[in-house]
């Protein structure tokens, strides 16, 4: 199974690049700037990564810095944790978030707990990159959005880039963090293109960002749903509805002041989340709005999530199962009108 593309260019600021290239720039930059950083995972070396993000890095940095591992998520994630405890700065690549469940014990019972259980003596400066989300016809075992599961766990930090700049720069910020950081990269973004701002630099992974200002309704989302939500905001604008789009970026910790501030400006909220509705991150965001901004609301908080089914393989069913711009816009219109 592969979703690699033929491009290998790294691109520079101001160039048109794909998200895949922006992620690759981030990994390459980390390896250049930090001699303690290395990449480990299945097929990250000679094959160039299952989604092509690490292509060309083995030739540039060698097998000690770009390490192909056996097909054992628990094994190479555990190796990353051990290396982090030993003072290294590992970048672990897990093919998909579905397969990260095979490393759940390592991530939840070890990486997330060791600093606390050691009384602050054992930080785990680990970064785990994993592909998440649907839209690529890879069926139910490769297409789900479990990043909200990891965001439930104290001791883990979870971030979800949704722009070219965040794809390029989030890794370096994550690598500087003393806690284990999971970067949830939505696979539908990899082939998308954008212009990398030459003035962009390291991002604040603690803060949400307003990607579009508005006055009538807040559309709150992250990662792969961000382009769809921005498209929905354009549809709403054509009908005279001003939608603010808030990109969460960090799923743990959530930037609660930014969420509540957006709702205070617009008095309505739609939370867009590619995960299932039941027990979702969207549910957590909705609850925080109800707890912190109830008297600012002019309508109940609404959610747009994926259908409560294993992700279909058939393209038309897959597209019907996940949030789409038209559905987001329809839900927002229902709140405003």
User: Before 253, cis peptide (omega within 30)?
Assistant: yes
Cα gap 27→18, rounded to integer Å: 14
The residue among 227, 172, 246, 230 whose CA lies nearest residue 205 is 172
Which residues, 6+ apart, have CB-to-CB distance to 300 below 8 Å?
335
Tokens 């060698």 belong to residue: 62
Catalytic residues: 73, 142
Are 27 and 74 in contact by the 8 Å Cβ rule? The answer is no
The two three-digit tokens of residue 69, written as one number: 């591992």
DSSP secondary structure of 255-269: -HHHHHHHHHHHS-E
Are 247 and 163 in contact by the 8 Å Cβ rule? The answer is yes
DSSP state, 281?
H
Cα gap 306→296, rounded to integer Å: 27
Q: CA separation (Å) from 229 to 62, 86, 183, 282, 297?
A: 40, 42, 20, 14, 21
Q: Could you tell me which residues are beta bridge partners of residue 129?
A: 93, 183
Residue 318 C-alpha from the chain's centroid: 20
């Amino acid at each position: 199974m592969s979703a690699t593309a033929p491009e290998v260019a790294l691109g520079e600021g101001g160039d048109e690049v794909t998200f895949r290239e922006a992620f690759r720039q981030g990994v390459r930059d980390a390896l250049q700037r930090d001699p303690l950083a290395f990449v480990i995972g299945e097929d990250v070396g000679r094959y160039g990564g299952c989604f092509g993000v690490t292509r060309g890095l083995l030739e540039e940095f060698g097998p000690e810095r770009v390490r192909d591992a056996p097909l054992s998520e628990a094994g190479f994630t555990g190796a990353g944790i051990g290396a982090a405890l030993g003072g290294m700065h590992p970048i672990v690549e897990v093919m998909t978030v579905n397969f990260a469940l095979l490393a759940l014990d390592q991530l939840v019972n070890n990486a997330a707990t060791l600093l606390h259980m050691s009384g602050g003596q054992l930080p785990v400066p680990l970064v785990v990159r994993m592909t998440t989300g649907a839209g690529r016809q890879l069926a139910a075992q490769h297409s789900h959005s479990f990043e909200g599961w990891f965001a439930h766990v104290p001791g883990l930090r979870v971030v979800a880039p949704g722009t070219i700049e965040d794809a390029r720069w989030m890794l370096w910020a994550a690598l500087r963090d003393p806690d284990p950081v999971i970067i949830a990269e939505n696979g539908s973004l990899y082939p998308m293109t954008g212009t990398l701002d030459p003035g962009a630099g390291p991002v604040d992974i603690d803060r949400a960002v307003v990607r579009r200002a508005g006055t009538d309704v807040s559309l709150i989302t992250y990662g792969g749903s961000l382009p769809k939500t921005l498209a929905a905001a354009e549809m709403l604008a054509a009908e005279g509805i001003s939608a603010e789009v808030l990109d969460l970026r960090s799923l743990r910790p959530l930037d609660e002041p930014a969420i509540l501030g957006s709702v205070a400006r617009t008095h309505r909220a739609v939370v867009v989340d590619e995960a299932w509705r039941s027990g979702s991150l969207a549910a957590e965001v909705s609850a925080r709005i109800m707890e912190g901004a109830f008297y600012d609301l002019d309508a109940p908080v609404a959610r747009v999530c994926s259908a409560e089914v294993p992700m279909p393989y058939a393209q038309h069913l897959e597209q019907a199962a996940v949030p789409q711009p038209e559905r987001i816009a329809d839900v927002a219109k229902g709140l405003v009108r």
